């Protein structure tokens, strides 16, 4: 029974990782075979991933962004993207190298196009190659592929480009695939019963067939995996890795940099066990371009392979032919991240801290560096080259409002307010507590009243309704949305109420909205409200457009002393020289 529970626990752990699930697990070993006796789920830190951190998503509207449930950025320059909406519709956009968008043509597009063939399929796992080619699996266990196919990496028995998503059938129709992985030009699939299938480019034995002949259709990886239950797979550029249910790790393919962790740099045409990890139970494995990371059930992190950019996190740039433990002084690691198209590594600890190392925006970071990020995905968005995603990203949109959003929502709400202002015969509903917290003027005002003398309605007659409403809304939102002419009145209010930040905000609005027609009016207001910076800005604008502004009504309506002062100051600046 213990062995069965161990198998189930580790397998579910890996399925959760591959699908971006929010369930995590700590597996406790009771012997060398890493068998488990019970489940001990740990809740992760809830992370709200902002896909807008990937530049390509800035092409989408806010409405399109809000519709995204899952997404992946891929391609040699991170110029292609695919996303799934809450309605399970699938869209793609970007450069479309090698038909990797699957739209049926080779045209690039900045406008998302729907992939009808995949809508409603419930995609749960996705990977991509360097061509690029794309492989995905659905909740029903079906596998679809499209894109570059020069080495039969689409698994359809040909080398023709895949211009639209087509189901991969050979040897997989009777299987329920739960995970897919891609190297540069080869592909792998893991079935629910623990079998691994591989196909495509095989120059280094990465398909695991025992030869270096390319594999045109999915072939079961057997040899020493024949009787094993594989629970997770990963691919480097030209290498393949697998974890079995007792935590053992196997590798095959290219090993020139030691990325298989076998203690040598000879290629392997069939799976070979990573003996150096004997005695530890690996739960997650992930591959970079030519390096590998492994996470154990005790939260320990091992790395091996290429280290040109410090991607192993060992403090140097020497390749490592066997697994080396890193981050030993840090707290328990719960997630590791790497991508076969980059030399960047990342890890997240139990306390939610995210570390990165390796090639980070062209720099070589040789030791794990603590970031301000809350998830490993952000490391790849901001520092990886290219800025691709290392997994199919599940985007959670928070239903509950933040404090700031809640305050904004309750401004001028009759249902929850306990005070009203009447301005120009119109009511504005507010909350005394908010006003006292946000504004010294109101804090002093309310303290001068005894509770029983506090009015339910306060009359305001020195400011207009638009100005006073904008001021009260500012106290709830920290923002102002007014035309420059009304911002003058708000500047007057901010001066009266000693709201210095609001004064600066008003000056910014006025500067942004200055025109020939209103320049002198704004200059007059700046002088009147002692806004020196704004006064200087308006003065320079008037001098630069002197002929035009002197023909406006505002110029001739300016009071005598101010007009004389303007003319004298402009004369000193040489404004009236021929």
Predicted confidence (pLDDT) per residue in 464-475, tens digit: 999 999 999 999
What DSSP state is assigned to residue 527?
Answer: H
Structure tokens at 340: 């076969």
402 or 83, higher pLDDT: 83
Residue 112, classified by CB atoms within 10 Å of its CB into exposed (0-12), middle (13-18) or buried (19+), is buried
Distances (CA, A) of 35 to 26, 199, 297, 350, 504: 12, 32, 11, 22, 65
Q: Which of 56-65, 387-396, 399-408, 417-426 has the lowest mean pLDDT?
A: 399-408
* Residues, the chain: 578
Q: Which of 75-79, 210-214, 290-294 has the lowest mean pLDDT?
A: 75-79
Q: Which of 294-298, 300-304, 420-424, 515-519 has the lowest mean pLDDT?
A: 515-519
What DSSP state is assigned to residue 275?
Answer: G
Predicted confidence (pLDDT) per residue in 353-390, tens digit: 999 999 999 999 999 999 999 999 999 999 999 999 99
Q: Mean pLDDT, to the nearest integer, of 248-267?
A: 98
Q: Is the pLDDT of residue 158 over 90?
A: yes
Structure confidence at residue 322 (pLDDT): 98
Predicted confidence (pLDDT) per residue in 205-250, tens digit: 999 999 999 999 999 999 999 999 999 999 999 999 999 999 999 9
Q: Are 457 and 420 in contact (CB under 8 A)?
A: yes
CA dihedral 409, 411, 413, 419 (to 10 degrees): 150
- Model confidence at 49, in pLDDT bands (50, 70, 90)? low
CA triple 388-394-400, angle to 5 deg:
130
Q: Is the pLDDT of residue 119 over 50?
A: yes
Helix (H) or strand (E) holding 158: none
Cα separation, 448 vs 37, in Å, equals 67
Q: Are strands 68-74 and 393-394 parallel, antiparallel or unpaired?
A: antiparallel
Cα separation, 471 vs 479, in Å, equals 9
Structure confidence at residue 385 (pLDDT): 92
Edge to edge, what strands does the sheet with 457-460 contain? 426-430, 419-423, 457-460
Q: How far out from the chain centre does Cα 334 lie?
A: 19
Q: Which residues contact 334 (CB under 8 A, 6 or more apart)?
A: 24, 42, 44, 295, 299, 348, 349, 350
Structure confidence at residue 24 (pLDDT): 33
Residues of the chain with pLDDT > 90, as a percent, come to: 69
3-state secondary structure of 522: helix
**Residue 399 CB neighbours (<10 A):** 5
Predicted confidence (pLDDT) per residue in 9-34, tens digit: 433 433 443 333 333 333 333 333 44
Residue 205, classified by CB atoms within 10 Å of its CB into exposed (0-12), middle (13-18) or buried (19+), is buried
Cα separation, 373 vs 346, in Å, equals 11
Q: Mean pLDDT, to the nearest integer, of 27-46?
A: 34
Q: Mean pLDDT, to the nearest integer, of 21-50?
A: 37
Structure tokens at 418: 């306990």
Q: Is the pLDDT of residue 55 over 60?
A: yes
Structure confidence at residue 202 (pLDDT): 98
Q: Are 24 and 42 in contact (CB under 8 A)?
A: yes
Q: Mean pLDDT, to the nearest integer, of 457-462?
A: 92
> Cis omega before residue 186 (within 30°)?
no
Structure confidence at residue 397 (pLDDT): 61
Average of per-residue pLDDT values in the chain:
88
Q: Provide the whole-model pTM.
A: 0.70
Q: How far out from the chain centre does Cα 209 lie?
A: 38
Q: Is the pLDDT of residue 3 over 90?
A: no
Structure tokens at 577: 């020289």
Question: What angle, 0 to 180 degrees and rounded to 10, lies between the N-to-C axes of helices 465-477 and 484-496?
Answer: 70
Q: Are 281 and 267 in contact (CB under 8 A)?
A: no
- Model confidence at 531, in pLDDT bands (50, 70, 90)? confident
3-state secondary structure of 553: helix
Structure confidence at residue 332 (pLDDT): 93
Predicted confidence (pLDDT) per residue in 516-526, tens digit: 888 888 888 88
Predicted confidence (pLDDT) per residue in 421-446, tens digit: 999 999 999 999 999 999 999 999 88
Q: How far out from the chain centre does Cα 202 lie?
A: 34
Structure confidence at residue 114 (pLDDT): 97
Q: Is the pLDDT of residue 48 over 80?
A: no
Q: Is the pLDDT of residue 398 over 80?
A: no
Q: Are 468 and 428 in contact (CB under 8 A)?
A: yes
Structure tokens at 181: 């992985």
Structure confidence at residue 555 (pLDDT): 84
Q: Mean pLDDT, to the nearest integer, of 442-469?
A: 82
Q: Are 28 and 297 in contact (CB under 8 A)?
A: yes
Helix (H) or strand (E) holding 287: strand 282-287
553 or 294, higher pLDDT: 294
> Cis omega before residue 132 (within 30°)?
yes
Q: Mean pLDDT, to the nearest integer, of 187-203?
A: 98
Cα separation, 159 vs 135, in Å, equals 15
Nearest to 289 by CA among 243, 338, 354, 217: 338
- Model confidence at 46, in pLDDT bands (50, 70, 90)? very low
Phi, psi (rounded to 5 degrees) for 387: -85, 65
């Amino acid at each position: 029974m213990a062995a069965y529970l161990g198998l189930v626990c580790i397998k579910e752990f890996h399925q959760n990782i591959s699908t971006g699930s929010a369930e995590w697990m700590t597996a406790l070993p009771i012997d060398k075979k890493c068998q488990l006796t019970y489940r001990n789920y740990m809740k992760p830190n809830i992370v709200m991933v902002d896909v807008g951190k990937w530049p390509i998503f800035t092409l989408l509207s806010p409405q399109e962004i809000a519709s995204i449930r899952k997404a992946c950025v891929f391609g040699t320059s991170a110029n292609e993207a695919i996303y799934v909406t809450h309605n399970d519709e699938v869209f793609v956009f970007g450069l479309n190298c090698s038909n990797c968008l699957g739209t049926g043509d080779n045209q690039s597009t900045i406008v998302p196009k729907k992939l009808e063939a995949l809508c409603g399929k419930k995609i749960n796992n996705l990977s991509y190659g360097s061509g690029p080619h794309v492989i995905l699996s659905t909740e029903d266990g079906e596998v679809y592929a499209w894109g570059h196919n020069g080495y039969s990496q689409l698994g359809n028995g040909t080398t023709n480009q895949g211009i639209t998503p087509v189901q991969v059938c050979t040897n997989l129709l009777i299987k329920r695939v739960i995970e897919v992985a891609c190297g540069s030009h080869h592909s792998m699939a893991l079935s629910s019963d623990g079998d691994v299938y591989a196909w495509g480019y095989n120059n280094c034995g990465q398909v695991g067939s025992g030869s270096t002949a390319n594999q045109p259709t999915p072939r079961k990886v057997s040899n020493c995996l024949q009787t094993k239950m594989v629970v997770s797979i990963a691919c480097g550029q030209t290498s393949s890795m697998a974890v079995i249910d007792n935590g053992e790790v196997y590798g095959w393919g290219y090993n020139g940099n030691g990325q298989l962790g076998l203690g040598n740099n000879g290629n392997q045409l069939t799976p070979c066990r990573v003996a150096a990890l004997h005695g530890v139970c690996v739960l997650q494995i992930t591959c970079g371009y030519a390096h590998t990371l492994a996470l154990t059930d005790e939260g320990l992190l091992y790395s091996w392979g290429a280290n040109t950019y410090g991607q192993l996190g060992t403090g140097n740039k020497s390749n490592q032919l066997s697994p080396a433990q890193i981050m030993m002084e840090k707290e328990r690691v719960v997630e590791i991240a790497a991508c076969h198209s980059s030399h960047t590594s990342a890890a997240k600890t139990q306390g939610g801290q995210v570390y990165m190392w390796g090639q980070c925006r062209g720099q070589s970071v040789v030791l794990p560096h603590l970031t301000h990020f809350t998830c490993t995905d952000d490391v790849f968005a901001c520092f990886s080259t290219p800025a691709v995603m290392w997994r199919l990203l599940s985007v959670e949109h928070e239903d509950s409002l933040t404090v700031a959003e809640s305050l904004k929502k309750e401004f001028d709400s009759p249902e929850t307010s306990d005070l009203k202002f009447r301005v120009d015969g119109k009511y504005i509903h507010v909350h005394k507590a908010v006003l006292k917290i946000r504004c010294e003027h109101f804090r002093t005002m309310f303290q001068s009243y005894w509770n029983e003398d506090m009015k339910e309605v306060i009359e305001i007659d020195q400011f207009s309704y638009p100005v006073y409403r904008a001021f009260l809304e500012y106290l709830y939102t920290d923002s102002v949305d007014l035309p420059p002419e009304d911002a003058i009145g708000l500047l007057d209010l901010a001066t009266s109420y000693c709201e210095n930040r609001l004064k600066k905000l008003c000056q910014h609005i006025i500067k942004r909205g200055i025109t020939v027609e209103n320049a002198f009016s704004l200059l007059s207001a700046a002088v009147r409200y002692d806004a020196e910076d704004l006064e200087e800005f308006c003065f320079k604008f008037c001098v630069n457009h002197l002929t035009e502004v002197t023909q406006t009504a505002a110029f001739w309506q300016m009071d005598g002393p101010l007009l004389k002062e303007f003319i004298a100051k402009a004369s000193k600046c040489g404004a009236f020289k021929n």
